[in-house]
Structure 1
Amino acid sequence: MNILITGAAGFIGFHLAKALGNTQNSIYCLDNLNNYYSTTLKLDRLSELGFNQIGITEETSILYENLHFCKIDINNLEELRKFVTKKRIDKIIHLAAQAGVRYSFENPSEYIKVNIGGFLNILELARENNIKHVIYASSSSVYGSNIEKRRLHEGDNTDNLLNIYAVSKKTNELMAKAYFNLYGIKSTGLRFFTVYGPWGRPDMAAYIFTKSILDGSVIKVLNNGNLERDFTYIDDIVTGILNICFSNNAELRDTYNIGSGNPVSIIDFIKTIEDETKIKANLKFVSMNKGESKSTNANTSSIRDDFGYLAVTEIHEGIKSYIQWFREYYCKN
């Protein structure tokens, strides 16, 4: 197949592209390399994939002969259209988005433009090019304040949203359903639950806590520590995406939870980092921010039953790998 990955310089996109390297498929990687966080980190990810001449022209990896990269913004419909049409794309894995819940408090318009406008362009190109399957990133944030049931199922209510990031992802799910009803474009939305691991973003908990512990700076712990997250290791996430991408299962749901199904309290997450670094954290307990969920816990029975997905990475194993990468990447000198 000819597979398009948007957001390929991002955290999940990078790992997915690497996993698809040297397969029998042609993988076309796109990213606009925006400056929401360090472009150096994004360029270093691309370098790990064998791309070193980043520009507006297409580049083939020097490490994986089936990987190709082009710098294109998903909001640039004409450039995107030229590329997709020329490459005869069979399947799209759409991971490009404006990420980060807290940044949506400050700049909501960016989420509407990129996450909704950009996704509309992806769906339109799928329609124009008769691309029958689009896999796209949704989020556990769509569950909002719905924490009455400890284990969140795809059929649970998603109407009480807490922030504009969640609104953008819920809107993506509605758009995808409309395009299926109108044009037969099958889409699979993946509700990611707190992904972490090597090459993760610097606005994520694993980075913030690790850096603070190593620096000796204060970690602000929200809701006085009464928070838990369904932390999911990146390798498990990639396995789930690949299982869906290459499945012949015709009876697909519209959306799937993809998480570990084993939530960890924020305090225990920090304690795991402390154990691995052998350094005690300096904690400051603060009240809850508006717009944040107190708990996330994925019911993953649907993706397990349909695609054999099972998260296998224990939190201590994942943190050990993350800390090793963090030190190698950030503590070189």
Structure 2
Amino acid sequence: MTVLLTGAAGFIGMHVAEALLARGDRVIGIDNLNPYYDVGLKRARLARLEAQPGFRFLAIDVADREAMLDLAESQAEVTRIVHLAAQPGVRHSLVDPYAYVQANVMGHLVVLELARRLKRLEHLVYASSSSVYGGNHDLPFTETDRVDHPVSLYAATKRSGELISESYAHLFGLPQTGLRFFTVYGPWGRPDMAPWMFSEAILEGRPITLYDAGRLKRDFTFVEDIAAGVVGCLDRPAPTAHPRLLNIGNHRSVEVRRFVAVLEEALGQRAVVVDTPRPATDVPETFADIEAIRAVCGYEPRTPIEAGIPRFAEWFLSWRKRG
């Protein structure tokens, strides 16, 4: 099987690619290597993938219509797509809103246009986000909850992608599954994510900021569990005219201060904590109902933070030694 994977140099993308390659699939990886964070980290991820048979990389921006649509002819053997390329980061959307619309809305549309031109396409799995639930107070979050009150532009662009996918399923019969990711962490993570920023500050003796004394709760999900869920869903195509939207999380809501305590233990150093009120872009709690994805592909997250954080910390320390 040949899989087209966008965002291949990204955090989740690298892990999904490795899971596909490990079972013998061919992976065509796409990424534009944008400088939102350290391009050296992205290239290091790619180096891991390019060392494995079956992987090929193409430097393409998913919002580049001409380059992407050319793939319909040059990569006609593609039977499945995993679309993970996006502009991430809730707070950065306040700084550069145009980048989010370009990558997350236009990029999503271009991928759908490519998909409907691929004659052998069996399934498209794409990344949405738990951010679409906005200020929802009903827990756990379920796929039937209303999602029409986003509290960030990032969330609005991800919800836009879901709606565009709905229309393309109706118009063109594209088999699609959208996955709402919940706070993914683990080795090879991003420098703008809390585990990385907390670890760097702790090791350097700088203070870390915890909103509302660390009482915010997140459904922290280990990246290898996420990758297994993505691949499991990819193998079970959705009905052509009825796209699926599924939560993919750990089904555990953990206080951020507990997450920090486990991280302190893994790093062997205490954090200096500064308490700050919660910003408007952050919700008090996220908690995934995963019954739907469990029914679709048997998804079962297996990694609590007590196991996942030490694995992240081990990788992070080794990465820092590389300079």
TM-score, L = length of structure 2: 0.96
Counterpart-to-counterpart distance in 1, 2:264 and 2:55:
38
Structure 2 counterpart of 1:107? 96
2:85 aligned residue (72, 96, 103): 96
Aligned residues of 1:30 and 1:71 also touching (Cα < 8 A): yes
Letter in 2 for 1:102: R
In the alignment, does 2:155 pair up with 1:155?
no
How many pairs were matched up? 320
What is the match of residue 64 of structure 2?
76
Shift of 1:146: 0.4
Q: Report if the CA contact (8 A) 1:249-1:306 is conserved.
A: no
Moved more, 130-139 or 279-288: 130-139
Is the partner of 2:5 in helix, strand or coil? strand
2:274 matched to 1:276?
A: no
Q: Deviations over 1:163-184 (max 9, x none)?
A: 1000000000000000011110
Checking the alignment, whether the CA contact within 8 Å between 2:246 and 2:292 is kept in structure 1 is yes
Picking from 288, 310, 313, the partner of 1:320 is: 310
**Residue 331 of structure 1: how far off its partner (Å):** 2.6
Determine the C-alpha separation between the residues in 2 that align with 1:175 and 1:305.
25
Which residue identity is paired with 1:218?
Answer: P
Shift of 1:319: 0.4
1:120 maps to 2:124? no
- Deviation, structure 1 residue 49: 1.4
Deviations 1:9-31 (A, max 9, x none): 00000111112225442210010
**What is the SS of the residue equivalent to 1:317?**
helix
Of 240, 244, 269, 1:254 maps to 244
Spell out, residue by residue over 1:291-332, the C-alpha distance to the aligned partner (whole angstroms, 9 max, x if none): 111110000010011210010001111001000000111134
Instruction: Confirm whether residue 189 of structure 1 aligns to residue 178 of structure 2.
Output: yes
Shift of the 249–94 alpha-carbon distance from structure 1 to 2, 3 Å rule, reads closer
* Structure with bigger RCO (C-alpha 8 Å, 6+ apart): 2
Output the CA distance in 2 between the equivalents of 1:76 and 1:250. Answer: 29
Show structure 1 runs of 5+ residues with no match. Answer: 51-62
Q: Percent identity?
A: 38
What residue in structure 2 maps to residue 54 of structure 1?
none
Which whole-Å CA distance do the structure 1 matches of 2:154 and 2:186 have between them? 22
Give how far 1:223 is off.
2.3
Alpha carbons 2:236, 2:296 under 8 Å: kept: no
Matched residues in 2 for 1:253 and 1:133: separation? Answer: 10
Moved more, 8-17 or 217-226: 217-226
2:254 corresponds in structure 1 to: 264
- Please tell me whether the aligned partners of residues 123 and 237 of structure 2 are also in contact (alpha carbons under 8 angstroms): no
Aligned equivalent of 2:188: 199
The one-letter code of the counterpart of 1:232 is: T
Q: Which residue of 2 aligns with 1:212?
A: 201
Whole-angstrom distance in 1 between the partners of 2:72 and 2:8: 15
SS in 2 for 1:178: helix
| CA–CA separation in structure 1 for the residues paired with 2:106 and 2:133 | 22
Give 1:223's aligned residue. 212
- Answer yes or no: is the 8 Å Cα contact 2:128–2:159 preserved in 1: yes
1:22–1:298 Cα change, 3 Å: closer
> How far off its partner does 1:250 sit?
5.0
For residue 55 of structure 1, what is the aligned residue in structure 2?
none
Matches of 2:8 and 2:238, distance apart in 1: 26
What is the letter of the counterpart of residue 190 of structure 1?
A: L
Query: 1:132: Cα distance to partner?
Result: 4.1
Q: Is the CA contact (8 Å cut-off) linking 1:22 and 1:66 kept in structure 2?
A: no
CA distance in 1: counterparts of 2:166 and 2:322, whole angstroms: 47
1:145 aligns with 2:135: yes
Per the alignment, do residues 248 and 169 of structure 1 end up closer, same or farther by CA in structure 2, a change over 3 Å counting?
A: closer
- Residue type of the partner of 2:181? F
Query: Partner of 2:45 in structure 1?
Result: 45
Give, as a single letter, the amino acid of the residue that structure 2 aligns with 1:186. Answer: P
Cα offset, 1:134, TM superposition: 1.2
Give the conservation status (yes or no) of the 8 Å contact 1:132–1:184.
no
Q: Report SS of the residue matched to 2:21.
A: coil
Letter of the aligned partner of 2:267 in structure 1? Answer: T
For structure 2, the 5+ residue unaligned runs are: none
Partner amino acid for 2:90? V
- Classify the secondary structure of the residue corresponding to 1:21: helix
Deviation per CA, 1:90-143: give whole Å up to 9, x if none.
Answer: 111000000100100111111111100011101111112243421100000000
**Partner residue of 2:7?**
7
Alpha-carbon distance in 2 for matches of 1:277, 1:150: 32
